[in-house]
Protein backbone atom coordinates (compact mmCIF):
# COMPACT_ATOMS: atom_id res chain seq x y z
CA UNK A 1 0.00 0.00 0.00
CA UNK A 2 2.75 2.41 0.90
CA UNK A 3 4.34 2.01 -2.51
CA UNK A 4 1.09 2.63 -4.29
CA UNK A 5 0.58 5.83 -2.38
CA UNK A 6 4.21 6.83 -3.05
CA UNK A 7 4.75 7.14 0.66
CA UNK A 8 7.11 5.72 3.17
CA UNK A 9 5.91 2.59 4.97
CA UNK A 10 6.53 4.19 8.34
CA UNK A 11 4.56 7.23 7.32
CA UNK A 12 1.63 5.04 6.31
CA UNK A 13 1.75 3.12 9.56
CA UNK A 14 1.89 6.34 11.56
CA UNK A 15 -1.14 7.62 9.72
CA UNK A 16 -2.93 4.35 10.32
CA UNK A 17 -2.27 4.50 14.02
CA UNK A 18 -3.54 8.05 13.96
CA UNK A 19 -6.69 6.72 12.31
CA UNK A 20 -6.99 4.06 14.96
CA UNK A 21 -5.82 1.14 12.82
CA UNK A 22 -3.00 -1.07 14.06
CA UNK A 23 -1.05 -2.37 11.12
CA UNK A 24 2.25 -4.02 10.26
CA UNK A 25 4.30 -3.49 7.13
CA UNK A 26 3.10 -6.58 5.33
CA UNK A 27 -0.49 -6.52 6.35
CA UNK A 28 -3.13 -6.35 3.66
CA UNK A 29 -5.52 -3.52 4.20
CA UNK A 30 -9.19 -3.72 3.42
CA UNK A 31 -10.61 -1.37 0.85
CA UNK A 32 -12.29 0.87 3.43
CA UNK A 33 -9.01 1.53 5.16
CA UNK A 34 -7.29 2.19 1.88
CA UNK A 35 -9.93 4.72 0.90
CA UNK A 36 -9.56 6.38 4.28
CA UNK A 37 -5.79 6.50 3.95
CA UNK A 38 -5.95 7.89 0.47
CA UNK A 39 -8.25 10.60 1.76
CA UNK A 40 -5.76 11.45 4.49
CA UNK A 41 -2.94 11.74 1.99
CA UNK A 42 -5.09 13.58 -0.48
CA UNK A 43 -4.61 10.88 -3.08
CA UNK A 44 -7.33 9.61 -5.38
CA UNK A 45 -7.84 5.90 -5.57
CA UNK A 46 -10.00 3.97 -7.93
CA UNK A 47 -11.33 0.67 -6.72
CA UNK A 48 -11.20 -1.73 -9.63
CA UNK A 49 -13.67 -4.53 -9.53
CA UNK A 50 -12.79 -7.55 -11.62
CA UNK A 51 -14.77 -7.45 -14.84
CA UNK A 52 -16.39 -10.80 -14.24
CA UNK A 53 -18.06 -9.50 -11.11
CA UNK A 54 -18.93 -6.07 -12.34
CA UNK A 55 -21.98 -7.32 -14.13
CA UNK A 56 -24.45 -5.73 -11.82
CA UNK A 57 -25.35 -2.52 -13.55
CA UNK A 58 -23.64 -3.02 -16.84
CA UNK A 59 -25.60 -6.05 -17.96
CA UNK A 60 -26.51 -6.03 -21.58
CA UNK A 61 -29.59 -7.95 -22.45
CA UNK A 62 -28.37 -10.23 -25.18
CA UNK A 63 -31.35 -12.47 -25.59
CA UNK A 64 -32.13 -14.00 -28.94
CA UNK A 65 -35.45 -13.05 -30.55
CA UNK A 66 -36.77 -16.57 -29.80
CA UNK A 67 -36.05 -16.16 -26.11
CA UNK A 68 -38.01 -12.92 -25.87
CA UNK A 69 -41.63 -13.27 -24.83
CA UNK A 70 -44.37 -10.70 -24.64
CA UNK A 71 -44.66 -9.09 -21.21
CA UNK A 72 -47.26 -6.80 -19.65
CA UNK A 73 -46.71 -3.06 -20.15
CA UNK A 74 -45.78 -1.03 -17.06
CA UNK A 75 -47.80 2.16 -16.75
CA UNK A 76 -47.43 5.32 -14.63
CA UNK A 77 -50.19 7.86 -13.99
CA UNK A 78 -49.28 11.54 -13.90
CA UNK A 79 -51.11 14.85 -13.94
CA UNK A 80 -51.96 18.00 -12.03
CA UNK A 81 -52.88 17.77 -8.35
CA UNK A 82 -56.58 16.97 -7.76
CA UNK A 83 -57.18 15.98 -11.36
CA UNK A 84 -57.92 12.45 -10.18
CA UNK A 85 -54.72 10.35 -10.34
CA UNK A 86 -55.39 8.50 -7.10
CA UNK A 87 -59.07 8.00 -7.85
CA UNK A 88 -58.17 6.66 -11.28
CA UNK A 89 -55.65 4.20 -9.84
CA UNK A 90 -58.32 2.96 -7.42
CA UNK A 91 -60.96 2.76 -10.14
CA UNK A 92 -58.75 0.75 -12.47
CA UNK A 93 -57.83 -1.58 -9.68
CA UNK A 94 -61.41 -2.30 -8.69
CA UNK A 95 -62.57 -2.61 -12.31
CA UNK A 96 -60.58 -5.73 -12.40
CA UNK A 97 -61.93 -7.66 -9.43
CA UNK A 98 -63.38 -10.30 -11.70
CA UNK A 99 -64.38 -13.87 -10.85
CA UNK A 100 -61.07 -15.65 -10.47
CA UNK A 101 -59.24 -12.99 -8.58
CA UNK A 102 -62.03 -12.12 -6.16
CA UNK A 103 -61.45 -12.86 -2.52
CA UNK A 104 -57.85 -11.72 -2.56
CA UNK A 105 -56.95 -9.05 -0.05
CA UNK A 106 -55.60 -5.93 -1.68
CA UNK A 107 -51.97 -5.33 -0.73
CA UNK A 108 -50.29 -2.06 -1.43
CA UNK A 109 -46.96 -3.14 -2.82
CA UNK A 110 -46.07 -0.11 -4.94
CA UNK A 111 -47.65 -1.53 -8.09
CA UNK A 112 -50.51 -3.75 -9.11
CA UNK A 113 -51.68 -5.77 -12.07
CA UNK A 114 -55.03 -5.91 -13.79
CA UNK A 115 -56.20 -8.24 -16.49
CA UNK A 116 -58.34 -7.43 -19.51
CA UNK A 117 -58.95 -9.56 -22.61
CA UNK A 118 -56.62 -12.17 -21.07
CA UNK A 119 -53.76 -9.71 -21.03
CA UNK A 120 -52.14 -8.14 -18.01
CA UNK A 121 -51.20 -4.51 -17.38
CA UNK A 122 -48.96 -3.38 -14.52
CA UNK A 123 -49.63 -0.01 -12.87
CA UNK A 124 -47.19 1.77 -10.62
CA UNK A 125 -49.14 2.83 -7.56
CA UNK A 126 -47.29 6.02 -6.72
CA UNK A 127 -48.88 8.69 -8.87
CA UNK A 128 -47.04 11.78 -9.99
CA UNK A 129 -44.02 12.68 -12.02
CA UNK A 130 -41.77 13.50 -9.06
CA UNK A 131 -41.51 9.89 -7.91
CA UNK A 132 -41.13 8.74 -11.49
CA UNK A 133 -38.32 11.15 -12.35
CA UNK A 134 -36.55 10.61 -9.03
CA UNK A 135 -36.29 6.92 -9.98
CA UNK A 136 -35.03 7.89 -13.39
CA UNK A 137 -32.43 10.17 -11.85
CA UNK A 138 -31.12 7.11 -10.06
CA UNK A 139 -30.83 5.28 -13.35
CA UNK A 140 -33.96 3.16 -12.98
CA UNK A 141 -36.14 2.78 -16.05
CA UNK A 142 -39.29 1.04 -14.92
CA UNK A 143 -42.09 2.58 -16.95
CA UNK A 144 -43.17 1.84 -20.51
CA UNK A 145 -46.03 4.27 -20.86
CA UNK A 146 -47.61 7.29 -19.18
CA UNK A 147 -51.23 8.17 -18.63
CA UNK A 148 -51.60 11.93 -18.31
CA UNK A 149 -54.79 12.73 -16.39
CA UNK A 150 -56.44 16.06 -17.12
CA UNK A 151 -59.64 17.13 -15.36
CA UNK A 152 -62.17 18.18 -17.98
CA UNK A 153 -63.52 20.96 -15.75
CA UNK A 154 -60.11 22.44 -15.09
CA UNK A 155 -58.04 21.90 -18.22
CA UNK A 156 -54.29 22.00 -18.66
CA UNK A 157 -52.54 23.27 -15.54
CA UNK A 158 -48.85 23.85 -14.68
CA UNK A 159 -48.28 20.32 -13.35
CA UNK A 160 -49.99 18.88 -16.41
CA UNK A 161 -47.29 20.54 -18.49
CA UNK A 162 -44.60 19.33 -16.11
CA UNK A 163 -45.93 15.79 -16.32
CA UNK A 164 -45.97 15.90 -20.13
CA UNK A 165 -42.40 17.16 -20.23
CA UNK A 166 -41.20 14.59 -17.72
CA UNK A 167 -42.80 11.83 -19.79
CA UNK A 168 -41.34 13.21 -23.02
CA UNK A 169 -37.88 13.58 -21.50
CA UNK A 170 -38.07 9.88 -20.70
CA UNK A 171 -39.15 9.16 -24.27
CA UNK A 172 -42.37 7.46 -23.21
CA UNK A 173 -45.62 7.11 -25.15
CA UNK A 174 -48.44 9.19 -23.67
CA UNK A 175 -52.15 8.41 -23.42
CA UNK A 176 -54.39 11.25 -22.26
CA UNK A 177 -57.19 10.40 -19.84
CA UNK A 178 -59.66 13.27 -19.83
CA UNK A 179 -61.18 12.81 -16.38
CA UNK A 180 -64.26 14.09 -14.54
CA UNK A 181 -66.44 14.05 -17.62
CA UNK A 182 -69.40 13.45 -15.29
CA UNK A 183 -69.16 17.06 -14.12
CA UNK A 184 -71.66 19.49 -15.62
CA UNK A 185 -68.94 21.98 -16.51
CA UNK A 186 -66.71 19.35 -18.10
CA UNK A 187 -65.29 20.44 -21.43
CA UNK A 188 -63.21 17.63 -22.96
CA UNK A 189 -62.80 19.45 -26.26
CA UNK A 190 -61.17 22.37 -24.54
CA UNK A 191 -58.64 19.97 -22.99
CA UNK A 192 -57.86 18.56 -26.43
CA UNK A 193 -57.49 22.05 -27.81
CA UNK A 194 -55.13 23.09 -25.04
CA UNK A 195 -52.99 19.98 -25.40
CA UNK A 196 -52.29 20.55 -29.09
CA UNK A 197 -49.91 23.23 -27.89
CA UNK A 198 -47.82 20.46 -26.33
CA UNK A 199 -47.84 18.30 -29.45
CA UNK A 200 -50.51 15.98 -28.10
CA UNK A 201 -52.96 15.98 -30.99
CA UNK A 202 -55.90 13.57 -31.11
CA UNK A 203 -56.31 11.23 -34.05
CA UNK A 204 -59.48 12.92 -35.27
CA UNK A 205 -57.48 16.12 -35.65
CA UNK A 206 -54.72 14.46 -37.61
CA UNK A 207 -52.42 13.62 -34.73
CA UNK A 208 -51.49 10.31 -33.15
CA UNK A 209 -52.23 10.80 -29.45
CA UNK A 210 -54.87 8.62 -27.89
CA UNK A 211 -57.44 10.47 -25.78
CA UNK A 212 -59.91 8.61 -23.57
CA UNK A 213 -62.80 10.27 -21.76
CA UNK A 214 -63.25 8.85 -18.27
CA UNK A 215 -64.88 9.45 -14.95
CA UNK A 216 -62.68 7.89 -12.32
CA UNK A 217 -65.25 8.64 -9.65
CA UNK A 218 -68.11 6.93 -11.48
CA UNK A 219 -65.77 4.29 -12.92
CA UNK A 220 -66.75 5.15 -16.46
CA UNK A 221 -64.45 4.54 -19.40
CA UNK A 222 -62.09 2.25 -17.51
CA UNK A 223 -62.27 -0.55 -20.05
CA UNK A 224 -61.71 1.85 -22.93
CA UNK A 225 -58.63 3.15 -21.20
CA UNK A 226 -57.26 -0.33 -20.52
CA UNK A 227 -57.88 -1.39 -24.11
CA UNK A 228 -56.02 1.66 -25.38
CA UNK A 229 -53.08 0.77 -23.14
CA UNK A 230 -53.03 -2.70 -24.68
CA UNK A 231 -53.13 -1.14 -28.13
CA UNK A 232 -50.07 1.01 -27.41
CA UNK A 233 -48.37 -2.04 -25.88
CA UNK A 234 -49.07 -4.05 -29.00
CA UNK A 235 -47.52 -1.39 -31.22
CA UNK A 236 -44.42 -1.13 -29.04
CA UNK A 237 -44.01 -4.89 -28.53
CA UNK A 238 -42.73 -4.92 -24.96
CA UNK A 239 -40.78 -8.12 -24.46
CA UNK A 240 -38.46 -9.82 -22.01
CA UNK A 241 -36.77 -13.17 -21.56
CA UNK A 242 -38.50 -15.00 -18.70
CA UNK A 243 -36.05 -17.92 -18.72
CA UNK A 244 -33.11 -16.51 -16.85
CA UNK A 245 -32.12 -15.17 -13.46
CA UNK A 246 -34.30 -12.26 -12.44
CA UNK A 247 -33.39 -8.58 -12.58
CA UNK A 248 -35.54 -5.63 -11.70
CA UNK A 249 -35.90 -2.47 -9.64
CA UNK A 250 -36.84 -1.72 -6.05
CA UNK A 251 -40.02 0.38 -6.04
CA UNK A 252 -40.23 0.87 -2.29
CA UNK A 253 -38.75 -0.72 0.81
CA UNK A 254 -39.18 -0.44 4.54
CA UNK A 255 -38.42 -2.06 7.85
CA UNK A 256 -41.42 -4.06 8.98
CA UNK A 257 -41.70 -4.69 12.72
CA UNK A 258 -42.58 -8.34 12.38
CA UNK A 259 -40.93 -9.35 9.13
CA UNK A 260 -37.75 -7.32 9.06
CA UNK A 261 -36.73 -5.52 5.87
CA UNK A 262 -39.29 -5.85 3.08
CA UNK A 263 -38.85 -4.63 -0.47
CA UNK A 264 -41.43 -4.17 -3.16
CA UNK A 265 -39.84 -4.82 -6.46
CA UNK A 266 -40.75 -4.95 -10.09
CA UNK A 267 -39.29 -7.93 -11.90
CA UNK A 268 -38.17 -6.71 -15.34
CA UNK A 269 -36.17 -9.58 -16.78
CA UNK A 270 -36.11 -13.27 -16.02
CA UNK A 271 -38.11 -15.07 -13.38
CA UNK A 272 -37.71 -14.57 -9.65
CA UNK A 273 -38.10 -17.65 -7.45
CA UNK A 274 -38.40 -18.30 -3.74
CA UNK A 275 -34.95 -19.22 -2.44
CA UNK A 276 -33.07 -17.08 -4.99
CA UNK A 277 -29.99 -15.26 -3.71
CA UNK A 278 -29.99 -11.63 -4.74
CA UNK A 279 -28.54 -8.16 -4.40
CA UNK A 280 -30.75 -5.07 -4.07
CA UNK A 281 -28.78 -1.85 -4.03
CA UNK A 282 -26.03 -2.54 -1.51
CA UNK A 283 -28.01 -5.20 0.35
CA UNK A 284 -28.12 -8.89 -0.27
CA UNK A 285 -30.47 -11.65 0.75
CA UNK A 286 -32.31 -14.79 -0.17
CA UNK A 287 -36.00 -14.70 -1.09
CA UNK A 288 -37.83 -16.09 1.90
CA UNK A 289 -41.35 -15.30 0.71
CA UNK A 290 -43.01 -13.46 -2.17
CA UNK A 291 -46.47 -11.93 -2.11
CA UNK A 292 -48.35 -10.31 -5.00
CA UNK A 293 -50.72 -7.32 -4.93
CA UNK A 294 -53.66 -9.60 -4.16
CA UNK A 295 -51.98 -10.91 -1.04
CA UNK A 296 -51.29 -14.23 -2.67
CA UNK A 297 -48.04 -16.09 -2.00
CA UNK A 298 -46.07 -16.76 -5.15
CA UNK A 299 -43.33 -19.29 -5.85
CA UNK A 300 -42.29 -17.53 -9.05
CA UNK A 301 -42.67 -14.08 -10.60
CA UNK A 302 -41.94 -13.32 -14.26
CA UNK A 303 -41.28 -10.06 -16.17
CA UNK A 304 -43.43 -7.01 -15.27
CA UNK A 305 -44.68 -8.66 -12.08
CA UNK A 306 -44.63 -6.55 -8.91
CA UNK A 307 -43.94 -8.53 -5.74
CA UNK A 308 -43.20 -7.90 -2.13
CA UNK A 309 -40.24 -9.87 -0.90
CA UNK A 310 -38.81 -10.74 2.50
CA UNK A 311 -35.41 -12.20 3.26
CA UNK A 312 -33.24 -9.10 3.02
CA UNK A 313 -30.48 -8.23 5.44
CA UNK A 314 -31.03 -4.49 5.16
CA UNK A 315 -33.47 -2.00 3.63
CA UNK A 316 -32.55 -0.97 0.06
CA UNK A 317 -33.57 2.36 -1.51
CA UNK A 318 -36.34 3.11 -3.99
CA UNK A 319 -34.96 2.92 -7.50
CA UNK A 320 -32.14 0.55 -6.52
CA UNK A 321 -31.37 -2.17 -9.02
CA UNK A 322 -32.21 -5.73 -8.07
CA UNK A 323 -30.48 -8.83 -9.39
CA UNK A 324 -30.34 -12.54 -8.68
CA UNK A 325 -26.98 -14.34 -8.44
CA UNK A 326 -26.06 -18.00 -8.54
CA UNK A 327 -25.49 -18.28 -4.80
CA UNK A 328 -25.53 -16.33 -1.57
CA UNK A 329 -21.76 -16.06 -1.26
CA UNK A 330 -21.59 -14.34 -4.61
CA UNK A 331 -24.51 -12.07 -3.76
CA UNK A 332 -22.88 -11.02 -0.50
CA UNK A 333 -19.63 -10.36 -2.31
CA UNK A 334 -21.26 -8.13 -4.90
CA UNK A 335 -23.25 -6.27 -2.25
CA UNK A 336 -20.05 -5.53 -0.31
CA UNK A 337 -18.28 -4.29 -3.38
CA UNK A 338 -21.24 -2.19 -4.34
CA UNK A 339 -21.35 -0.44 -1.01
CA UNK A 340 -17.73 0.52 -1.52
CA UNK A 341 -18.12 1.78 -5.06
CA UNK A 342 -21.27 3.54 -3.97
CA UNK A 343 -19.41 5.43 -1.25
CA UNK A 344 -16.65 6.13 -3.69
CA UNK A 345 -18.98 7.56 -6.29
CA UNK A 346 -20.35 9.80 -3.57
CA UNK A 347 -16.82 11.01 -2.95
CA UNK A 348 -16.10 11.52 -6.61
CA UNK A 349 -17.65 14.61 -8.03
CA UNK A 350 -19.69 15.39 -11.01
CA UNK A 351 -20.75 13.13 -13.77
CA UNK A 352 -23.47 15.59 -14.80
CA UNK A 353 -23.03 18.04 -17.60
CA UNK A 354 -22.28 21.65 -16.69
CA UNK A 355 -21.71 24.58 -19.01
CA UNK A 356 -18.07 24.59 -17.97
CA UNK A 357 -17.40 21.06 -19.19
CA UNK A 358 -19.96 21.04 -22.01
CA UNK A 359 -17.39 21.56 -24.73
CA UNK A 360 -15.36 18.58 -23.56
CA UNK A 361 -18.46 16.38 -23.76
CA UNK A 362 -19.19 17.72 -27.24
CA UNK A 363 -15.64 17.06 -28.40
CA UNK A 364 -15.77 13.54 -26.98
CA UNK A 365 -18.94 13.00 -28.97
CA UNK A 366 -20.90 12.24 -25.82
CA UNK A 367 -23.40 15.03 -26.28
CA UNK A 368 -25.46 15.96 -29.31
CA UNK A 369 -28.11 18.07 -27.58
CA UNK A 370 -27.64 20.45 -24.72
CA UNK A 371 -30.67 19.67 -22.55
CA UNK A 372 -32.06 22.75 -20.87
CA UNK A 373 -34.83 23.58 -18.40
CA UNK A 374 -35.95 27.20 -18.36
CA UNK A 375 -37.77 28.94 -15.53
CA UNK A 376 -38.63 32.63 -15.74
CA UNK A 377 -40.60 35.32 -13.94
CA UNK A 378 -43.25 35.65 -16.63
CA UNK A 379 -44.38 33.42 -19.47
CA UNK A 380 -43.53 36.12 -22.02
CA UNK A 381 -39.84 36.21 -21.20
CA UNK A 382 -39.72 32.41 -21.04
CA UNK A 383 -41.15 32.25 -24.57
CA UNK A 384 -38.69 34.85 -25.82
CA UNK A 385 -35.80 32.96 -24.30
CA UNK A 386 -37.02 29.67 -25.75
CA UNK A 387 -37.23 31.22 -29.19
CA UNK A 388 -33.67 32.51 -29.06
CA UNK A 389 -32.20 29.34 -27.60
CA UNK A 390 -33.88 27.21 -30.24
CA UNK A 391 -32.00 29.15 -32.90
CA UNK A 392 -28.57 28.38 -31.49
CA UNK A 393 -26.65 25.72 -33.31
CA UNK A 394 -22.94 25.27 -32.95
CA UNK A 395 -21.15 22.49 -34.80
CA UNK A 396 -24.20 20.28 -35.03
CA UNK A 397 -25.04 20.63 -31.34
CA UNK A 398 -28.44 22.09 -30.53
CA UNK A 399 -30.25 23.29 -27.48
CA UNK A 400 -33.11 21.01 -26.51
CA UNK A 401 -35.63 22.52 -24.14
CA UNK A 402 -37.03 19.78 -21.93
CA UNK A 403 -39.26 21.94 -19.81
CA UNK A 404 -40.07 25.59 -19.31
CA UNK A 405 -42.45 27.65 -17.27
CA UNK A 406 -43.04 30.68 -15.11
CA UNK A 407 -42.14 30.52 -11.44
CA UNK A 408 -39.25 29.70 -9.13
CA UNK A 409 -36.91 26.82 -9.85
CA UNK A 410 -38.33 23.86 -7.91
CA UNK A 411 -37.00 20.53 -6.77
CA UNK A 412 -39.00 18.86 -9.52
CA UNK A 413 -37.05 20.91 -12.11
CA UNK A 414 -33.78 19.82 -10.53
CA UNK A 415 -34.73 16.16 -10.46
CA UNK A 416 -35.76 16.32 -14.10
CA UNK A 417 -32.41 17.94 -14.89
CA UNK A 418 -30.56 15.24 -12.97
CA UNK A 419 -32.49 12.46 -14.70
CA UNK A 420 -31.97 13.96 -18.16
CA UNK A 421 -28.48 15.42 -17.80
CA UNK A 422 -29.77 18.95 -18.28
CA UNK A 423 -28.79 22.38 -17.03
CA UNK A 424 -31.30 24.79 -15.49
CA UNK A 425 -31.62 28.42 -16.50
CA UNK A 426 -33.35 30.84 -14.16
CA UNK A 427 -34.44 34.09 -15.75
CA UNK A 428 -35.23 36.66 -13.07
CA UNK A 429 -36.06 33.78 -10.72
CA UNK A 430 -34.07 31.81 -8.19
CA UNK A 431 -34.19 28.25 -6.91
CA UNK A 432 -36.21 27.68 -3.74
CA UNK A 433 -34.42 26.26 -0.70
CA UNK A 434 -35.24 22.64 -1.44
CA UNK A 435 -34.22 23.03 -5.08
CA UNK A 436 -30.92 24.58 -4.11
CA UNK A 437 -30.13 21.74 -1.75
CA UNK A 438 -31.02 19.05 -4.25
CA UNK A 439 -29.04 20.81 -6.98
CA UNK A 440 -25.96 20.78 -4.79
CA UNK A 441 -26.44 17.11 -4.00
CA UNK A 442 -27.12 16.11 -7.57
CA UNK A 443 -24.52 18.47 -9.02
CA UNK A 444 -26.99 20.13 -11.34
CA UNK A 445 -25.73 23.33 -12.99
CA UNK A 446 -28.06 26.27 -12.39
CA UNK A 447 -27.48 29.51 -14.29
CA UNK A 448 -29.23 32.66 -13.14
CA UNK A 449 -29.64 35.61 -15.49
CA UNK A 450 -31.48 38.89 -15.88
CA UNK A 451 -30.72 39.67 -19.51
CA UNK A 452 -31.71 37.38 -22.38
CA UNK A 453 -28.68 38.35 -24.42
CA UNK A 454 -26.40 37.15 -21.61
CA UNK A 455 -28.06 33.73 -21.53
CA UNK A 456 -27.62 33.29 -25.27
CA UNK A 457 -24.05 34.43 -25.18
CA UNK A 458 -23.16 32.17 -22.28
CA UNK A 459 -24.67 29.10 -23.91
CA UNK A 460 -23.07 29.83 -27.28
CA UNK A 461 -19.66 30.30 -25.74
CA UNK A 462 -20.01 27.14 -23.70
CA UNK A 463 -20.82 25.23 -26.88
CA UNK A 464 -17.74 26.64 -28.56
CA UNK A 465 -15.55 25.94 -25.54
CA UNK A 466 -14.92 29.63 -25.03
CA UNK A 467 -16.58 30.03 -21.66
CA UNK A 468 -14.44 31.58 -18.96
CA UNK A 469 -14.59 29.16 -16.09
CA UNK A 470 -16.60 30.37 -13.12
CA UNK A 471 -14.71 30.78 -9.88
P1 LIG B 1 -54.98 13.50 -7.39
O2 LIG B 1 -54.47 14.62 -6.54
O3 LIG B 1 -54.67 13.73 -8.84
O4 LIG B 1 -54.56 12.14 -6.94
O5 LIG B 1 -56.59 13.57 -7.31
P6 LIG B 1 -57.60 12.67 -6.48
O7 LIG B 1 -57.74 11.34 -7.09
O8 LIG B 1 -57.26 12.76 -5.05
O9 LIG B 1 -58.97 13.44 -6.78
C10 LIG B 1 -59.16 14.78 -6.36
C11 LIG B 1 -60.65 15.05 -6.16
O12 LIG B 1 -61.33 14.90 -7.39
C13 LIG B 1 -61.30 14.06 -5.19
O14 LIG B 1 -62.21 14.76 -4.40
C15 LIG B 1 -62.00 13.09 -6.12
O16 LIG B 1 -63.15 12.53 -5.52
C17 LIG B 1 -62.40 13.98 -7.28
N18 LIG B 1 -62.52 13.22 -8.52
C19 LIG B 1 -61.62 12.37 -9.07
N20 LIG B 1 -62.09 11.85 -10.21
C21 LIG B 1 -63.31 12.38 -10.39
C22 LIG B 1 -64.30 12.24 -11.42
O23 LIG B 1 -64.16 11.48 -12.39
N24 LIG B 1 -65.44 12.98 -11.30
C25 LIG B 1 -65.64 13.81 -10.25
N26 LIG B 1 -66.78 14.49 -10.21
N27 LIG B 1 -64.75 13.97 -9.27
C28 LIG B 1 -63.59 13.27 -9.33
> Considering the chain, what percentage of its residues have pLDDT values greater than 90?
60
Average pLDDT of 74-81? 96
Q: Which pLDDT value is given to residue 46?
A: 57
Distance, CA of 370 to CA of 267 (rounded, Å): 33
**pLDDT confidence of 52, banded at 50, 70, 90?**
very low
* CA-wise closest residue to 233 among 143, 125, 130: 143
Whether residue 125 contacts residue 112, with contact meaning beta carbons closer than 8 Å, is answered with yes
Task: Report how far ligand 1's centroid is from the alpha carbon of 84 (Å).
Answer: 4
Q: Which pLDDT value is given to residue 345?
A: 52
* CA-wise closest residue to 145 among 117, 161, 121: 121
pLDDT at 48 over 70: no
ipTM: 0.99
Q: Which pLDDT value is given to residue 341?
A: 65
In this structure, of 116-120, 349-353, 451-455, the range with the lowest mean pLDDT score is 349-353
Contact 159 CB / ligand 1 (< 6 Å): no
Q: Which pLDDT value is given to residue 54?
A: 42
Task: Report how far ligand 1's centroid is from the alpha carbon of 85 (Å).
Answer: 7
Phi-psi region of 365 (alpha: psi -120 to 50; beta: other; left: phi over 0): left
Q: Do you know the residue count of the chain?
A: 471
In this structure, of 32-46, 127-141, 242-256, 267-281, the range with the lowest mean pLDDT score is 32-46
Average pLDDT of 251-273? 94
Mutate to test the pocket of ligand 1, among 95, 146, 216, 219 (most ligand atoms within 8 A of CB): 216
Task: Report how far ligand 1's centroid is from the alpha carbon of 87 (Å).
Answer: 6
In this structure, of 70-84, 222-236, 343-357, 428-442, the range with the lowest mean pLDDT score is 343-357
Q: Which pLDDT value is given to residue 140?
A: 83
Q: Which pLDDT value is given to residue 310?
A: 95
**pLDDT confidence of 349, banded at 50, 70, 90?**
very low
Tens of pLDDT along 284-329? 999 999 999 999 999 999 999 999 999 998 999 888 899 999 988 8
In this structure, of 68-72, 99-103, 206-210, 230-234, the range with the lowest mean pLDDT score is 99-103
**Is residue 436 classed as helix, strand or coil in its secondary structure?**
helix
In this structure, of 191-200, 207-216, 218-227, 387-396, the range with the lowest mean pLDDT score is 387-396
- 433-442 vs 411-420: helix crossing angle, rounded to 10: 20
Q: Which pLDDT value is given to residue 63?
A: 86
Q: Which residue has the higher pLDDT, 394 or 144?
A: 144
H-run or E-run covering 139: none
Tens of pLDDT along 242-255? 999 999 999 999 99
Average pLDDT of 459-466? 85
Task: Report how far ligand 1's centroid is from the alpha carbon of 191 (Å).
Answer: 17
Contact 129 CB / ligand 1 (< 6 Å): no
pLDDT at 348 over 50: no
* CA-wise closest residue to 194 among 151, 236, 144: 151
Average pLDDT of 56-84? 86
Quickly count helices (H) and strands (E) in the chain: 13, 22
Average pLDDT of 145-164? 96
Q: Which pLDDT value is given to residue 49?
A: 45
Amino acid sequence: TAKLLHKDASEVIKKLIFLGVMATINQELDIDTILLLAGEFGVEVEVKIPVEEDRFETVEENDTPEELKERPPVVTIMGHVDHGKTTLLDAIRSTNVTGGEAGGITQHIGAYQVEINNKKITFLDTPGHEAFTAMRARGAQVTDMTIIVVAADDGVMPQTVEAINHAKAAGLPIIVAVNKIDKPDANPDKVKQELTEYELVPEEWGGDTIFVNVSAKQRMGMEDLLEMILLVAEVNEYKANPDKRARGTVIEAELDKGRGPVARILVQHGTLKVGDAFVAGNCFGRIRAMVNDKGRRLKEAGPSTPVEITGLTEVPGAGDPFMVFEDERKARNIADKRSITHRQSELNTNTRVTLDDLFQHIKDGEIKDLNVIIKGDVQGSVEALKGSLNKIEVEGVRVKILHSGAGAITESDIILAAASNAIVIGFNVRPDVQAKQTAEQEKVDIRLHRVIYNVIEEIEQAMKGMLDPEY
